[in-house]
Amino acid sequence: MLDIMRKSASSWWLKALLLAVALSFIIGFGILTSFRNEDQSRFAARVGKTIITHAEFQTAFENQLKAIKEKYGEDLEEEDIKKLGIRKSILDDQIDKILEIEEAKKLNIPVTDEEVRDAIKSIPYFLKDGEFDYDTYKEVLKYNKLTEAGFEAIIRNDIMIQKFSGLIKNSAKASEEDVIVIAKTFQGITPEEYNELSPDEKELLKANALMVKRIEEYNNFIKELRSKADIEYNKDYLD
């Protein structure tokens, strides 16, 4: 454990409140179960030698359904789940994360203990009176059957992915032609109308276009990784 975090420890929360925090934590962060003692023989998908276990998929699936219910106020019927392709979408997201982590590790993207510590201490579910509470941290992890080392590894990977995606996205460029096309596509601004805009308005459109190009750049990069990867889906988990 990152020893400095223990210095922030204080009293435990009431168990009922801890339970609510833990449940919100699971829904909000979609905790992976990679660091639990799971049956690795039953897999939902495979990326090379890395598998997505039934438990990992099921956790993400249940969290997605909970998030949808929280947003729309009702449960999805099985027919809707199939129409929306939720199971396939979840597996695709999990596969992409595996590919991202593998690629980031190849690039030796560094993540310091301080970055991990700061990220954990900023998670609202671990705060008490605005400060990180180490005892709450331990109890929430215990409730979710996660070790401190395991959770820190999850956070470290997440930071690594963020840095990795930033490297790819920041390589994108947006020409004036891109700005005009994107402005017309997303905002209905014709080339003639674009030419009449002020410099400040054009700069705003350029910023928007750059954001779109960065997303496109990253999505294309992930597609390329997928095209080269050895990916296998368990058909029983597809809609």
Domain residue extents for the chain: 3-164+233-237
User: Residue 126 has what pLDDT?
Assistant: 85
User: In the numeric block, which tokens belong to residue 102?
Assistant: 């593998």
Can you give the pTM of this predicted structure?
0.71
**What is the separation, in whole angstroms, between the first and last Cα of the chain?**
41
Distance CA 34, CA 88 (A): 20
Average pLDDT of the chain, as a whole number: 82
- Taking residue 46's Cβ as centre, other Cβ atoms within 10 Å add up to 16
Q: How far is CA 12 from the centre of its chain?
A: 29
Place of tokens 């809609």: 239
pLDDT tens digits, 60-79? 888 888 878 877 888 888 88
The dotted CATH code for 3-164+233-237 is: 1.10.4030.10
Strands (E), the chain: 43-47, 50-53, 127-128, 131-132, 231-233
User: Residue 96 has what pLDDT?
Assistant: 92
At 197, phi and psi to the nearest 5? -75, 155
User: Residue 13 has what pLDDT?
Assistant: 37
User: Residue 39 has what pLDDT?
Assistant: 55
Q: Which residues of the chain have pLDDT under 50?
A: 1-2, 4-38
pLDDT tens digits, 18-35? 333 344 444 344 444 444
The most distant pair of C-alpha atoms in the chain lies apart, rounded to whole Å, by: 64
